[in-house]
Amino acid sequence: MALRHLTPFSSLTPRSKSLSFFTTPHNKNKRFSFSVSAMASAVRKVLVPIANGTEPMEAVITIDIMRRAGAEVTVASVEKQLKVDACHGVKIVADALISDCADTVFDLISLPGGMPGAATLKDCGTLESMVKKQAADGRLYAAICAAPAVALGSWGLLKGLKATCYPSFMEQLSSFTTTVESRVQQDGKVVTSRGPGTAMEFSVALVEQLFGKEKADEVSGPLVLRPNHGDEYTITELNPMMWTFDNCPKILVPIANGTEEMEAVIIIDVLRRAKAEVVVASVEDKLEVMASRKVKLVADSLLDEAAKLSYDLIVLPGGLGGAQAFAKSEKLVSLLKKQRESNRPYGAICASPAWVLEPHGLLKGKKATAFPPMCDKLSDKSEAENRVMVDGNLITSRGPGTCLEFSLAIVEKLFGRNKALELAKGMLFVKP
């Protein structure tokens, strides 16, 4: 059984203990003087506005991680309805309309990027007033990707501060502020970041600003973050085989109540960026599901309908509740068994290798990994320390912090390393 590394190994040490993801100008650092005990006791209110054309990874990662930290997060639509059509066909249902939030005081307002979503946020008068008041009152505000330039810069909220954004918006940003190329930049009460590939670092930095470093460390541990942000990712592969398809790969991504929303959205978003045909299917009796951190996602179809087709790949996101729902779905388990029997690719991340694939015999004779506390459920743990493990037609991975690598590994198997790296650099996951 040959062991092949698709790229030379970079450091595969456990996650970095340092959570100083953001860059701070030394002379501005003193603006922050939070009491850790006060942080711990107060409920922190966070607003994440979304629009049609919002980048779903940037929105959902921030919502999920802030809720993991214990923040009370309101997802607010700036459209006329709660359901928004984010980029790459991801449908998200907001908690409220922005007009419902106008009189609420938030400890943080964080703007996701994506176009035309960022432009729609900029044009929302209610949101503009709220963020301007946030800045005037000395409370934290943040933006990522296109939003620092398109929204914050246009509103005049970056004057005299250092900020960063998505590379193609840096020239626009430079007309409003001093630009830097940090992956995450904090100056005074504003935190900015670059793109989908920096969204986890950005969100953990926001946790640190709201709750303190101890909480940021506590939240980041289970994410299984990379120790080497920006470096090329590494995949471990055994028994290499070609993953073949006709014309365009057709991929099934099931979702359920309790699915880990970061993992689901990252997988869907990245594979659609690669131009794969992705079918998001609900295993529940309705299209809308409530994911593990209470993000409401809308599937393309019910599994009963989706199961009538055959797929080049079936890939399961994690989340304990979602994985348990998958394991109980006879239709999904039957599809997975047929996929294995026909030697077509299938995969899972986080809880799903341990809770779905293992008990149904879908890891027999295969090396796999899973969410670290669940690896004890794997009958063969010999390769479980790998962040992404490919064994023939099976691909598995560990958690939210490995999900971009997992998704890019799928792109690499289907379309080649060059395509995967092109996407990785475009998302700022790998340094351009």
Q: Which residues contact 18 (CB under 8 A, 6 or more apart)?
A: none
What is the CB neighbour count within 10 angstroms for residue 338?
A: 15
User: Which residue blocks in 251-341 are alpha helix, DSSP H?
Assistant: 261-273, 303-306, 320-328, 330-341
Q: Which residues contact 86 (CB under 8 A, 6 or more apart)?
A: 50, 52, 53, 54, 55, 56, 59, 92, 114, 117
Label each residue of 73-123 as H, E or C.
Answer: EEEEECCCCCEEECHHHCEEECCEEHHHHCCCCCCEEEECCCCCHHHHHHC
Taking each helix axis from N to C end, the angle separating 261-273 and 56-68, rounded to the nearest 10 degrees, works out to 160
Token duo for residue 133:
């008041």
- Residue 276's alpha-carbon distances to 7, 88, 94, 126, 340, in angstroms, are 23, 11, 27, 37, 20
User: Which of 87, 145, 165, 350 is the catalytic position?
Assistant: 350
CB-neighbour burial class of residue 180 (10 A; exposed 0-12, middle 13-18, buried 19+): middle
Question: How far from chain centre, in Å, is Cα 210?
Answer: 20
Q: What is the largest CA-CA distance in the chain?
A: 63
Is residue 87 part of the annotated active site? The answer reads no
Check residue 265 and give left, alpha or beta (phi > 0: left; psi -120 to 50: alpha): alpha
Token duo for residue 27:
């002379």
What residues act catalytically? 350
